[in-house]
């Protein structure tokens, strides 16, 4: 085993990701210390970092040994800080049997039929977002284009009326956006306001049910049990977060990846039937959710290392998605790669991304429109200089300037 690089980045620290995901260090870990025991400022026994595809799958699929409670977020190293602070009520922080019960109910809102029904509305929404840009010759891909579709899709599903959306989107950005200029007080206030809004929506749907997700969740039953209003409100918050930041980054980083690989972009642009496989490859290559943790429930063993009950295990999806043992030429994009056993939506197990099919549909419609309506699309500047989100969970850009020659009308 070669020595760890002396400048090995701290994988829990959001500052590490400001210049991009540390793929070189991941490669070193996969080759030299695939189940690494590393120091952490707030986990007294340190934490385990798992970087090979097969090992990440083992941890993710063994939910009785590796639990999501108290939360699956890696602490950012500041006591009480990080994405995990105060998230133990979220579905992603629960284990069986509570998780299974909750998941069975919310699955009713995400059936393939319900997702497919959104398709026409999504197409019209995407056209409208691009039409807004028709008189311009440049914009910020993140704020002017990519973030709107995922925000509207959740709002459409849940049933947020059009007139409330600007307000709800503002709260979402403040609560979950990785904008360093938002103070903790503003974040706290936005969370509270959004929670109160969800409460008022629940109250309204209790008396006037419609066919939106909020009404489905309020009235759904599994084994004679219903969700409480509190559970629905917490789920509303999780959806805003899980569904918007992630998909936005697939769109932005995915578009950048295509622009940087014109041969791959041409394959997709010439045949939109390749989009489903291309999107799986963009998910693998960009990996918008970098990692999640689990906590060992009992003493166990992985890759010859002894992991004690109570210790945290970081499953690095971004490292598993570049594992040479699982993918040929993992650092290259191949939009026709098939099979593609990527772990961008999780590596299997009970918490596999609830919105995977919705994200795929959003990606399909967005990439189709971007590739067919923008003529002469290019990045405006050096991507190495563009700011990235300040997060130790999500990877993406917080700004990505683009320009174009012409926008074609919607077909």
Residues that bind ligand HEM (CB under 6 A): 60, 91-92, 103, 154, 238-239, 242-243, 246-247, 250, 288-289, 292, 344-346, 349, 351-355, 358-359
Least Å distance between CB 311 and ligand HEM?
Answer: 18
Burial profile 144-169: b = 16 or more Cβ within 10 angstroms, e = fewer: bbbbbbbbbbbbbbbbbeeeebeebb
- Taking the least distance from each CB to ligand HEM, the nearer of 40 and 248 is 248
Least Å distance between CB 345 and ligand HEM?
Answer: 5
First to last CA, the chain: 57
Residue nearest to ligand HEM (CB): 355
Q: How far apart are CA 184 and CA 175, in angstroms?
A: 9
Residue carrying the six token digits 């690095």: 316
- Note whether 73 and 292 are within 8 A (CB): yes
Least Å distance between CB 349 and ligand HEM?
Answer: 5
Least Å distance between CB 97 and ligand HEM?
Answer: 13
Least Å distance between CB 202 and ligand HEM?
Answer: 18
C-beta neighbour count of 56 within 10 angstroms: 28
- Taking the least distance from each CB to ligand HEM, the nearer of 154 and 407 is 154
Least Å distance between CB 236 and ligand HEM?
Answer: 11
- Taking the least distance from each CB to ligand HEM, the nearer of 205 and 294 is 294
- Taking the least distance from each CB to ligand HEM, the nearer of 330 and 346 is 346
Name every residue whose Cβ is closer than 8 Å to that of residue 7 and which is 6 or more positions away in sequence: none
The Cα-based distances of 346 to 23, 102, 163, 306, 320 in angstroms read: 18, 18, 35, 24, 11
Least Å distance between CB 38 and ligand HEM?
Answer: 21
Number of helical H runs and strand E runs in the chain:
14, 12
Least Å distance between CB 113 and ligand HEM?
Answer: 16
Q: What is the number of alpha carbons within 13 Å of residue 401 lying toward its C-beta?
A: 9
| Token pair of 26 as six digits | 């991941």
- Taking the least distance from each CB to ligand HEM, the nearer of 52 and 351 is 351
Sign of CA dihedral 150, 153, 159, 163: positive
- Taking the least distance from each CB to ligand HEM, the nearer of 84 and 355 is 355
Q: How far apart are CA 91 and CA 260, in angstroms?
A: 37
- Taking the least distance from each CB to ligand HEM, the nearer of 218 and 358 is 358
- Taking the least distance from each CB to ligand HEM, the nearer of 242 and 402 is 242
């Amino acid at each position: 085993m070669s020595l760890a690089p002396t400048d090995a980045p701290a994988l829990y620290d959001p500052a590490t990701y400001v210049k991009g995901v540390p793929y070189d260090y991941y490669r070193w870990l996969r080759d030299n210390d695939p189940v690494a025991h590393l120091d952490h400022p707030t986990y007294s026994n340190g934490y385990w970092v798992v970087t090979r595809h097969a090992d990440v799958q083992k941890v993710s699929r063994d939910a009785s040994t590796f639990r999501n409670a108290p939360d699956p977020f890696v602490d950012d190293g500041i006591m009480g800080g990080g994405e995990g602070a105060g998230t133990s009520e979220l579905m992603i922080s629960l284990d069986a049997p509570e998780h299974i019960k909750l998941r069975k109910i919310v699955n009713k809102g995400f059936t393939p039929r319900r997702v497919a029904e959104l398709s026409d509305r999504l197409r019209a929404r995407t056209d409208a977002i691009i039409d807004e840009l028709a008189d311009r010759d440049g914009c910020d891909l993140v704020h002017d284009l990519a973030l709107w579709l995922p925000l509207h899709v959740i709002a459409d599903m849940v049933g947020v009326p059009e007139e409330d959306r600007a307000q709800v989107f503002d709260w979402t950005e403040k609560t979950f956006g990785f904008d360093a200029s938002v103070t903790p007080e503003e974040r706290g206030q936005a969370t509270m306001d959004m929670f109160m809004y969800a409460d008022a929506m629940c109250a309204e749907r209790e008396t006037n049910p419609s066919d939106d997700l909020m009404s489905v969740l309020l009235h759904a039953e599994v084994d004679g049990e219903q969700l409480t209003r509190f559970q629905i409100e917490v789920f509303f918050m999780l959806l805003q977060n899980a569904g918007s930041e992630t998909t936005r980054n697939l769109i932005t980083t995915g578009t950048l990846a295509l622009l940087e690989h014109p041969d791959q972009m041409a394959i997709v642009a010439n045949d939109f039937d390749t989009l489903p496989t291309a999107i799986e490859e963009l998910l693998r290559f960009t990996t918008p959710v970098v990692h999640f943790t689990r906590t060992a429930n009992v003493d166990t063993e992985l890759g010859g290392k002894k992991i004690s009950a109570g210790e945290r295990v970081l499953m690095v999806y971004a490292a598993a998605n570049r594992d040479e043992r699982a993918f040929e030429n993992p650092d290259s994009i191949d939009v026709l790669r098939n099979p593609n056993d990527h772990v961008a939506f999780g590596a299997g197990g009970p918490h596999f991304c609830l919105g995977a099919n919705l994200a795929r549909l959003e990606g399909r419609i967005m990439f189709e429109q971007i590739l067919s309506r923008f003529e002469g699309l290019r990045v405006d500047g050096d991507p190495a200089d563009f700011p990235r989100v300040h997060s130790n969970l999500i990877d993406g850009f917080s700004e990505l300037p683009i320009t174009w020659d012409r926008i074609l009308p919607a077909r």
